[in-house]
């Protein structure tokens, strides 16, 4: 037995020595091989593929997002997520913003190849055209009420779908097709729409296309390439809202105050969401689950904000159903969605406390469920989202004990008071008193408070988007509050980066609605904070 063990160890030694010599000496010329990745997409799912190397190895697939280029020292790309596989392909979800993928090969003793050239997806053309996800051809026709789905266009406030009797005279452009136009609608506030095709059932086939619109209903880019739509009246139409699981940001986590969103049924505005801690007793029924822990009825076509925090570790399940005006169910519950709240083994590194700017969302109609609109998505360190939409600084302070203390973060990023700026009844001194009290509570509980300066707002855009006035004295209040923040031991100064050329208001390129930073602004917030990670208290 002893001789066998010695013999086995010798074989292992010589094998490892040989592998080390091959890899480090590059005897097979692996370092000179340039991996080439390509992708195919079906129904919103991406498969990235490359040629397998002639040597035992594994592959790392990196998902990266281009940075804004507005912060000194920032690299061209930021790493969002990495996956590992032994295969020569990898399945990835579509993302909500254009990203690039790079593939590298690794052996037992380190990296074998340089990263592949970046592959972009969605690879939007210029000018941008939405990219279609749902396809209905003769082999898989549509019902009379099909869901039409496309990839999100960053910064879109809403979308317009045009139905056509024939292919348009020319693709792209921004005008309706005069000859083939059947109908169109721009009342679409998410990247999907349930069409009503009953009046076209005798045609057998029509065409459709979609374009993104801004706050003023002006086109962002051009129409998508027209898509044929084969109709089969015998097909059963969907009877439940569709979960919007398309274009998911890799590695992003649900906020502690969850937001649930979906693609609605045609012309239905009344919905009920239910939350469970175990899968429902019956899928796709029309009755409430007997074990649900929470439910809410909303007059909203696409999203529901949970008024309670969900900080407790474990599995959560939710689904949505349509209701009529008397709260009777229309159709059935949707599919069931699942998310997990992790139980940290130790105190979390950081948490972010604040209002809707922290909670997420933007572009008027985008909710915090769409995590590309969260600045936490672009941080280089894990950070728990304790934001809650609608907070004033006093409301943020009031929930410190219930929301912050259970997770015991080592560091707390504090950004609240923007809604107080808008109010004519809340003074700068009141906001400062609330911020001071939050800091005192942090220090009393062994938490490092890291204040973020308030960013400017744009009252003209706020008025147009939300039909509300802003305190004319907001700028003086901002100056007073931020002067106090800059005198705190730990702070990050966001304000200077976000002004327009006049240095008076929030630049519209960062925020469509004048209040909430959109994707570009949230990226910039993350990049600025990442340059100050030295402020973070380490475990």
- The pLDDT of residue 19 is 46
Question: What pLDDT, on the 0 to 100 scale, is given for residue 11?
Answer: 57
Q: What pLDDT is stored for residue 343 in this prediction?
A: 79
Q: Which of 238, 265, 286 is the last residue of a domain?
A: 238
403-421: string of b/e by CB count within 10 Å (b at 16+)? bbeebebbbbbbbbbbbbb
Q: Which domain covers residue 486, as residue numbers?
A: 344-539
Rounded Cα gap, residues 115 and 172, in angstroms: 35
Q: Of 238, 265, 295, which one is at a domain's C-terminal end?
A: 238
Judge whether residue 458 has pLDDT over 80: yes
DSSP state at residue 372: G
Q: Which residues are CB-neighbours of 28 under 8 A, at least 6 positions away?
A: 22, 54, 55
**Residue 338 and residue 349 in one domain:** no
> Across residues 480-505, what is the average pLDDT?
96
- The string of pLDDT tens digits covering residues 331-357 is 999 999 999 998 777 889 999 999 999
Residues 106-130 pLDDT 10s: 887 678 888 998 888 767 778 999 9
pLDDT over threshold 70, residue 387: yes
Calculate mean pLDDT across residues 354-366. Answer: 93
Quick one: pLDDT at residue 42? 75
Q: How far apart are CA 139 and CA 456, in angstroms?
A: 53
Pair (451, 527) in one structural domain: yes
Asked if residue 378 and residue 432 are part of one domain, the reply reads: yes
Helices and strands in the chain, H and E counts: 9, 28
* Residue 511 CA: distances (Å) to CA of 366, 379, 452, 458, 474: 12, 19, 18, 9, 17
Q: Average pLDDT, whole number, for the chain?
A: 91
Q: Does the pLDDT value for residue 18 go beyond 60?
A: no
237 vs 233: CA distance, rounded Å: 9
Q: Are residues 439 and 517 in the same domain?
A: yes
| Token reading at 226 | 């027209």
Domain count, the chain: 4
Q: What is the pLDDT of residue 377?
A: 94
Residues 43 and 171 in one domain: no
Q: Which of 324, 240, 325 is nearest to 280 (CA)?
A: 240
pLDDT at residue 257 greater than cutoff 80: yes
What is the predicted pLDDT for the residue at 16? 46
The CATH number of the domain holding residue 261 is 2.60.40.10
Q: Per-residue confidence at 17, pLDDT binned at 50, 70, 90?
A: low
Q: CATH code at 348?
A: 3.40.50.1110
Read out DSSP for 379-426? Answer: -SS--EEEE-TT--HHHHHHTHHHHTTTT--SEEEEE--HHHHH-SS-
Query: How would residue 2 be classed by pLDDT, with cut points 50, 70 and 90?
Result: low
Is residue 26 predicted with pLDDT exceeding 60?
A: no
| Together in a domain, 352 and 315 | no
* Residue 23 scores a pLDDT above 60: no
How far is the C-alpha of 454 from the C-alpha of 491, rounded, in Å?
A: 11
- pLDDT tens for 186-221 read 999 999 999 999 999 999 999 999 999 999 999 999
C-alpha span between 163 and 346 (Å, rounded): 55
Residue with tokens 């029924």: 285
Residues 523, 419: one domain?
Answer: yes
Q: 19-33, 175-189, 338-352, 437-451: which has the minimum mean pLDDT?
A: 19-33
pLDDT digit string, tens, across residues 138-148: 999 999 999 99
**3 is a domain residue:** no
Enumerate the β-bridge partners of residue 385: 352
């Amino acid at each position: 037995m002893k001789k066998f063990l010695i013999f086995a160890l010798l074989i292992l030694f010589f094998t490892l020595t040989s592998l080390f010599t091959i890899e480090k000496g590059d005897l097979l010329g692996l370092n000179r091989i340039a991996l080439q990745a390509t992708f195919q997409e079906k129904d919103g799912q991406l498969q990235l593929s490359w040629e397998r190397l002639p040597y035992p190895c594994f592959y790392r697939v990196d998902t990266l997002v281009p940075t804004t280029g507005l912060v000194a020292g920032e690299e061209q790309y930021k790493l969002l997520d990495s996956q590992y596989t032994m295969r020569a392909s990898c399945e990835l979800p579509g993302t909500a913003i254009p990203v690039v993928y790079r593939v590298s090969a690794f052996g037992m003793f380190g990296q074998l190849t340089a990263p592949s050239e970046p592959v972009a997806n969605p690879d939007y053309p210029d000018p941008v055209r939405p990219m279609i996800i749902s396809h209905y051809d003769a082999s898989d026709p549509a019902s009379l009420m099909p869901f039409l789905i496309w990839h999100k266009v960053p910064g879109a406030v809403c979308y317009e779908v045009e139905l056509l009797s024939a292919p348009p005279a020319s693709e792209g452009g921004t005008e309706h097709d005069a000859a083939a136009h059947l109908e169109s609608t721009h009342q679409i506030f998410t990247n999907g729409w349930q069409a009503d095709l009953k009046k076209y059932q005798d045609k057998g086939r029509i065409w459709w296309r979609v374009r993104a619109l801004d706050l003023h209903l002006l086109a962002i880019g051009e129409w998508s390439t027209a898509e044929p739509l084969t109709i089969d009246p015998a097909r059963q139409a969907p009877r439940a809202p569709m979960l919007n699981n398309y274009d998911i940001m890799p590695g992003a986590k649900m906020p502690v105050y969850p937001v649930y969103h979906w693609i609605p049924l045609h012309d239905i505005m009344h919905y009920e969401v239910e939350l469970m801690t175990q899968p429902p007793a019956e899928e796709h029924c029309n009755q409430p689950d007997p074990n649900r822990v929470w439910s809410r009825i909303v007059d909203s076509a696409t999203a529901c904000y949970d008024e309670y925090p969900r900080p407790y570790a474990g599995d959560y399940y939710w689904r949505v159903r349509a209701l009529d005006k008397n709260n009777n169910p229309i159709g059935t519950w949707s599919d069931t969605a699942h998310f997990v709240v992790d139980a940290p083994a130790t105190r979390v590194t950081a948490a972010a406390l604040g209002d809707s700017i922290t909670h997420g969302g933007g572009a008027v109609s985008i909710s915090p469920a769409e995590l590309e609109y969260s600045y936490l998505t672009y941080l280089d360190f894990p950070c728990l989202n304790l934001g809650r939409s609608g907070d004033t600084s006093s409301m943020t302070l009031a929930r410190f004990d219930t929301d912050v203390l259970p997770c015991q973060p080592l560091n707390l990023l504090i950004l609240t008071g923007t809604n107080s700026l808008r109010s004519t009844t809340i003074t700068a001194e009141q906001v400062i008193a609330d911020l001071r009290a939050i800091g005192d509570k942090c220090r009393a509980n062994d938490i490092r408070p890291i204040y973020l300066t308030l960013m400017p707002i744009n009252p003209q855009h706020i008025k147009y988007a939300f039909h509300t006035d802003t305190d004319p004295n907001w700028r003086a209040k901002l100056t007073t509050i931020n002067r106090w923040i800059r005198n705190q031991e730990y702070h990050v100064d966001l304000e200077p980066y976000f002004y327009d050329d006049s240095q008076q208001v929030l630049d519209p390129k960062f925020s469509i609605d004048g209040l909430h930073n959109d994707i570009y602004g949230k990226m910039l917030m993350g990049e600025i904070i990442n340059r100050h990670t030295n402020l973070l208290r380490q475990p």
